[in-house]
Structure 1
Amino acid sequence: MALLGAAVIAVPLFKRIGLGSVLGYLAAGLLLGPSGIGLIHDPESILTTAELGVVMFLFIIGLEMEPSKLWALRKQIFGLGVIQVAGCGALLTGVGVLLGFAPVVAFIFGMGFVMTSTAIVMQILGERGELSTDSGQRMVSILLLEDLAIVPLLAIVAILAPGGGEEVDMITRLLSIAAPIGAVLLLIFIGQRIMNPFFALLASSKLREVMTAAALLVIFGAALLFQASGLSMAMGAFLAGVLLSTSTFRHQLEADVEPFRGILLGLFFLAVGMSLDLGIVGQNWQIIAISVVAYMGVKAAGIYVIARLLKASHAVALERAVLMGQGGEFAFVLYTTAVSAGIIDGPTNAIFTATVIVSMVLTPFFIIGLRFVMPKAAEQSMEGVEAADGLSGRILIIGFGRFGQIASQPLLAMRHSVSIIDNDTEMIRAAAQIGFKVYYGDGTRLDILHAAGADTADLILICTDRKEQTTRIAELMRDEFPLVRVMARAFDRGHAIELVKAGVEYQLREMFESALEFGGAAVRALGASEEEAAEVVEGVRDRDRQRFELQLAGEDWRGLGRLLLSNAQEQAREGGVTVAEEAAEDAVAKSTQPTQPV
């Protein structure tokens, strides 16, 4: 009760004054812990349970990372991630030596501090809605690599332990390597062969609590499997999420787990705040203060330099340095293991742990300071804007920019019942001034779609202007509202193919028809009759449709070139322009070269 009460009071208060939810949790934990009013005397026990919040958080991140998306990030994970971990690790080890620690102890201290707090960074990126941005994806990639790095680091601690390297026989070494590999392979097998039929069987019971229990079973089962094999629990949950990311039950699982994830992640931050022993900080304040400044400064500088060398902009590099400049929760695991191995003693561990916790506490303040250095766009005002709730229009339009405004007019002219949602409050207010009723809502959220009446609509028009957002909404429709007819605005040919595969009934590239009409007008301006211009335009439209169907079926570019050639030859036989045939022959000759789809 005390923990919940403190969180309920502190978090909204801190968010209202602009300090963020993470700092609210940390402050509440510090107040309740041994260094505060002493209501909680054993923060370690709470921290052990609260780490499940991080586990669930990574499971939800995994649900967003389809294997194809994860494969696309491989260069960032094993390229950028390795460079940052190795580079900052070397720098921080050097800092530890300069502070007077033995080289081995400095290495442990530095490598523990290298591992950024996944919970803090993910929470901040999630609150900002930046997890799916390019910058956010790079930070997620680095965090994944850092989480993976705990495995070889724990192995290094075992080797560095006094006498440890001589006592480990060959069989034990082989088992220590085989166990993690076996755990990964076993989880992949279960995820591909068993999880989907398992959830399908449970879904037939129509009992939501059973599905929720099954989701928790999968998360904790994967986490415990990885922990037993020497890997990180969080990585087990993440891999389970990735394996379920293509499942038809993906969004249901996310909705079931989200409440538990939020509560446990908040509990984790509370426990971190309680773990800060102000007595130890007071006794060793000089070395802790110097360590915090030196380690955060050097790590942030290293991250900034690496980002700039890899062509990131100043703004992106600075933001990454501030967000990732602190130590993380996996440092506690590394330091505790080093104590058990006899590499560091208890007081040294207390200093290291306090340094990491202080860095985590300071991070929200640095982020606030970053706003003054790099002002962000002001948050949208909700004045005069009504949130989507209980809508029941037969047609739902998602996105009311230039495309959505034009698409809505024939429907309104025919007096159809239309509901419109958008997440741009300025546009909503502008639409109200010319008589359009637009509700505020993010179409990528399942709860908003339910509130907007997606489950009862006859037709849904996705008119958003971002490719990823449009595809995400289309996938939600396919998985959650399979009986609803969906039409979508496509960005280009490749995006149109994505949308068709996501179950969209009709798609239209946003500039195709307007550009075609523009070309027809150009032909007429050069002397063609209305009939000739209409015939040419229709021919282009027909050939585009055929090319699209071939690409959708997976045909290669040589097949497309042959289609162009046959169409052009037919046109030439009928008295068409021979230039088309020459262009088609050229397409066949160059068909092995990749081309950007339009």
Structure 2
Amino acid sequence: MTGTAPEVVTSNLLFDGALMLGAALFFVTLFRKLGLGATLGYIVAGAIIGPNALGLIGEADSIMAVSEIGIALLLFLVGLELNPSRLWRLRKDIFGLGLLQVMVCGLALALLIRFALGFSWEASIAIGLPLGLSSTAQVLPMLRSTGQLNHPCGERAFSVLLFQDLSIVPMITIIAAMSRAPVDPTAPSGGMLALYTVGAIVGLVLVGRFILNPLFRLIGRFGERELFIVAGLFAVIASAALMHSLHLSTALGAFIAGVMLAESPYRHELESDVEPFRSILLGLFFLSVGMLIDFNAVAARPELVFGLAVGIIVVKAVLIAGLAFMFGMKKGRAIWLGLLLSQAGEFGFVLFGQAASAQLITPEAASLFSAVVTLTMVSTPFLMQVVEWVLRRIPEPASDLDGPEFSPETNVIVVGYGRFGQTVAQMLMAKRIPVTIIDSKPSQIELSEEFGTKVYYGDGTRVDLLRTAGADTAEGILFCQTPRELTREKLEAVFNTFPQVAVMARVYDRLQVIEFSGLELAVCERELYESAVVMGRQALIKLGIAQREAERVEREYRQRDLERLDAQTVTGDLHAKFDRSFGVDRPLEDEAKSPA
């Protein structure tokens, strides 16, 4: 009988693993298709197969313990993107906005629990402070996936989350100081925890500088990718293990390890090697969060659970938005930050357990508030969809942004300063050609000013605004904004009002080129055309085609594409001269060799 025990364990592990991955695959795909995000899909999958619903999987606590490595890997990857100089630049937001957020939200929620539920002051503080924290595991992937992590608003969100991680140690200390349980002689005191924190951070910094960086240089000489994966995982898990052994935040240890490697030449390779492990383990974490939802606690007092979840979201959203506004964020972006961080976080599960062990709250209360935390996490994707919808339809007030009436007289007006307009404007400025830049997005203007570029606020497709910007004497107007914002009617108005100006436009595709046919555009450039042609030529060369032949293919493609576009414009038929396009059955014949 004993010989079959390992087989039973292996069978259970395989069955549970297949079930979890299958449920995650189905629900994440479904929720992605519905536009609700992967996080919510994982949580719903865990809730359905977990012990409190269908009961197909048990041991959610042990799964969460393993999957918390995913949070450590996430913080490690974030640390890789933040070198020490950037952290120093964010110090005001980390220790200013972050500190105020933790204190104000934590105390406000403690007061709410004290007077709404009649809990003791000690219990209210032990519950309120953790509820003031947000979900690092949920918010950071959201910021990374949308590319907002390096945006000023994303950096503010990250700064607050980083201080929240730092505040875990003081919160554990506060709960331990209020404990009603017999003193555990093996547990470190609050003062010792503070010393451990400082010592661990200093130790990890020294290890990163004098051991990890030389280690990666040595591995780089071997060129073995497997060693990079092993070394990267070692850096994360060893730093997290050190912090865990000291009763500190494992995520903080992994983050510091990442920061220490942020200036390493192997940073990008490390990032690509660790990313798959981070994705899988973070998915497991959210599965375990779903499994921990206590439906009995929700069913017993549904109005209380949902009321508390709504109250937490409202209180945190209002307070965080107000603090962000005090720190100089625009109203719309302050609301965005408030809703982004309005959920309670995964560290609440840990701290509620600490509070229950300290006999400050009952296990039933810990279970109840864990359900509340999970509900607030579930709400975040929906809240962000709502706020993005609102922000798209209600532009941010821009009364404090300079309009083009304040611009000096220049030769060229560039409308739109996104990724396309930035390249165009910089190439003009490279030859000292003065430009007036106009954009309608306050967030883009703020970001540009951080890099020393003056951008004026307004809708650059309006004739009256262009006249204010000096279009009457300008030599060129370059429309570089999102192509869909430009119509034939707007261009005709520009031509009629400023006939001396050379008008150039970024267009979306050949359909928009056809739409603008007959207008005397000096340049009408499809936004992806040139980059696609360049990539095609380079791909041919990398695949063994001679450079001369690749350049001939490029010339022939351009010529044929122009012929097709002319025919399509004349006839209005997209199938015109389709036979001039290349295909597997319509290749370019080899160049005829001249006789010797």
Residue 256 of structure 1: how far off its partner (Å): 0.3
**2-side partners of 1:218 and 1:453: how far apart?**
39
**2-side partners of 1:365 and 1:452: how far apart?**
45
Match of 2:105 in 1: 88
**2-side partners of 1:264 and 1:342: how far apart?**
32
TM-score under structure 2 normalisation?
Answer: 0.65
CA distance change for structure 1 residues 424 and 243 in 2, over 3 Å: closer, same or farther?
Answer: farther
Match of 2:150, SS state, is: coil
The one of 530, 533, 545 aligned to 1:438: 530
Match of 2:180 in 1: 162
Residue 308 of structure 1: how far off its partner (Å): 2.1
Match of 2:264, SS state, is: coil
1:22-33 pair list within 5 angstroms = 22-33=39-50
Give unpaired runs (5+ residues) of structure 2: 1-17, 395-418, 429-479, 485-505, 514-524, 545-596
1:15 counterpart = 2:32: yes
Structure 1: which amino acid aligns with 2:161?
L
**2-side partners of 1:173 and 1:330: how far apart?**
18
The one of 262, 267, 271 aligned to 1:254: 271
Match of 1:355, SS state, is: helix
Residue 138 of structure 1: how far off its partner (Å): 0.3
The one of 126, 131, 135 aligned to 1:113: 131
Match of 2:262, SS state, is: coil
Match of 2:150 in 1: 132
**1-side partners of 2:543 and 2:262: how far apart?**
22
TM-score under structure 1 normalisation?
Answer: 0.64
**1-side partners of 2:34 and 2:256: how far apart?**
37
1:347-386 pair list within 5 angstroms = 347-375=364-392
Match of 1:342, SS state, is: coil
Structure 2: which amino acid aligns with 1:369?
V
1:315-373 CA distances to partner (integer Å, 9 max, x unpaired)? 11111111111100111111111111221111011111111111111221222222332
Residue 66 of structure 1: how far off its partner (Å): 0.5
Match of 1:149 in 2: 167
Residue 229 of structure 1: how far off its partner (Å): 1.6
**2-side partners of 1:42 and 1:229: how far apart?**
25
CA distance change for structure 1 residues 43 and 295 in 2, over 3 Å: closer, same or farther?
Answer: same
Equivalent residues of 1:53, 1:263 under 8 A apart: yes
Match of 2:529, SS state, is: coil
Runs of 4+ in 1 over 6 A off after TM superposition: 167-171, 405-408, 422-426, 450-456
Match of 2:167, SS state, is: helix
Residue 137 of structure 1: how far off its partner (Å): 0.3
Residue 438 of structure 1: how far off its partner (Å): 3.3
Identity, in percent, stands at: 36
**1-side partners of 2:421 and 2:510: how far apart?**
10
Q: Which moved more, 1:356-365 or 1:423-432?
A: 423-432
Equivalent residues of 1:58, 1:235 under 8 A apart: yes
Aligned length: 418
Residue 169 of structure 1: how far off its partner (Å): 11
**2-side partners of 1:197 and 1:261: how far apart?**
24
Match of 2:119, SS state, is: coil
Residue 163 of structure 1: how far off its partner (Å): 6.2
1:541-552 pair list within 5 angstroms = none
Structure 2: which amino acid aligns with 1:258?
E
1:163-221 CA distances to partner (integer Å, 9 max, x unpaired)? 668x8799956543332222111111110111111112122222211110110000000
Match of 2:334 in 1: 317
Match of 2:235 in 1: 218
**1-side partners of 2:532 and 2:107: how far apart?**
49
Equivalent residues of 2:181, 2:358 under 8 A apart: no
CA distance change for structure 1 residues 309 and 406 in 2, over 3 Å: closer, same or farther?
Answer: closer
Structure 1: which amino acid aligns with 2:151?
T
CA distance change for structure 1 residues 12 and 222 in 2, over 3 Å: closer, same or farther?
Answer: same
Structure 1: which amino acid aligns with 2:268?
H
**1-side partners of 2:27 and 2:389: how far apart?**
24
1:267 counterpart = 2:298: no
Residue 273 of structure 1: how far off its partner (Å): 1.2
1:539-597 CA distances to partner (integer Å, 9 max, x unpaired)? xxxxxxxxxxxxxxxxxxxxxxxxxxxxxxxxxxxxxxxxxxxxxxxxxxxxxxxxxxx
CA distance change for structure 1 residues 369 and 172 in 2, over 3 Å: closer, same or farther?
Answer: closer
Residue 3 of structure 1: how far off its partner (Å): 1.7
Match of 1:115, SS state, is: coil
Give unpaired runs (5+ residues) of structure 1: 378-398, 409-421, 457-598
Match of 1:37, SS state, is: coil
**1-side partners of 2:543 and 2:203: how far apart?**
38
**1-side partners of 2:379 and 2:75: how far apart?**
23
1:41-80 pair list within 5 angstroms = 41-80=58-97
Structure 2: which amino acid aligns with 1:200?
R
**1-side partners of 2:336 and 2:235: how far apart?**
35
**2-side partners of 1:454 and 1:316: how far apart?**
45
Match of 1:282 in 2: 299
Q: Which moved more, 1:262-271 or 1:217-226?
A: 262-271
**1-side partners of 2:90 and 2:108: how far apart?**
26
Residue 57 of structure 1: how far off its partner (Å): 0.6
**1-side partners of 2:23 and 2:290: how far apart?**
12
Match of 2:360 in 1: 343
**1-side partners of 2:250 and 2:36: how far apart?**
30
CA distance change for structure 1 residues 51 and 172 in 2, over 3 Å: closer, same or farther?
Answer: closer
Match of 1:375, SS state, is: helix
Residue 264 of structure 1: how far off its partner (Å): 1.1
**2-side partners of 1:79 and 1:55: how far apart?**
24
Structure 1: which amino acid aligns with 2:326?
L
**2-side partners of 1:104 and 1:250: how far apart?**
45
**2-side partners of 1:237 and 1:70: how far apart?**
15
CA distance change for structure 1 residues 453 and 208 in 2, over 3 Å: closer, same or farther?
Answer: farther
Equivalent residues of 2:173, 2:189 under 8 A apart: no
CA distance change for structure 1 residues 185 and 452 in 2, over 3 Å: closer, same or farther?
Answer: farther
CA distance change for structure 1 residues 200 and 93 in 2, over 3 Å: closer, same or farther?
Answer: same
**2-side partners of 1:53 and 1:133: how far apart?**
24
Equivalent residues of 1:147, 1:235 under 8 A apart: yes
CA distance change for structure 1 residues 342 and 63 in 2, over 3 Å: closer, same or farther?
Answer: same
Structure 2: which amino acid aligns with 1:91?
A
Equivalent residues of 1:112, 1:330 under 8 A apart: yes
1:188-199 pair list within 5 angstroms = 188-199=205-216
Equivalent residues of 2:229, 2:273 under 8 A apart: yes
CA distance change for structure 1 residues 92 and 199 in 2, over 3 Å: closer, same or farther?
Answer: same
CA distance change for structure 1 residues 39 and 360 in 2, over 3 Å: closer, same or farther?
Answer: same
**2-side partners of 1:423 and 1:8: how far apart?**
38
CA distance change for structure 1 residues 439 and 29 in 2, over 3 Å: closer, same or farther?
Answer: farther
**2-side partners of 1:74 and 1:14: how far apart?**
37
Match of 2:367, SS state, is: helix
Structure 1: which amino acid aligns with 2:298?
V
Match of 1:438, SS state, is: helix
Residue 402 of structure 1: how far off its partner (Å): 7.4
Equivalent residues of 2:80, 2:261 under 8 A apart: yes
Q: Which moved more, 1:363-372 or 1:172-181?
A: 172-181
Structure 1: which amino acid aligns with 2:136?
T
Structure 2: which amino acid aligns with 1:351?
L
Structure 1: which amino acid aligns with 2:367?
A
RMSD: 3.4
CA distance change for structure 1 residues 223 and 171 in 2, over 3 Å: closer, same or farther?
Answer: closer
Match of 2:464 in 1: none
**1-side partners of 2:308 and 2:541: how far apart?**
55
**2-side partners of 1:115 and 1:255: how far apart?**
29
The one of 295, 306, 319 aligned to 1:302: 319
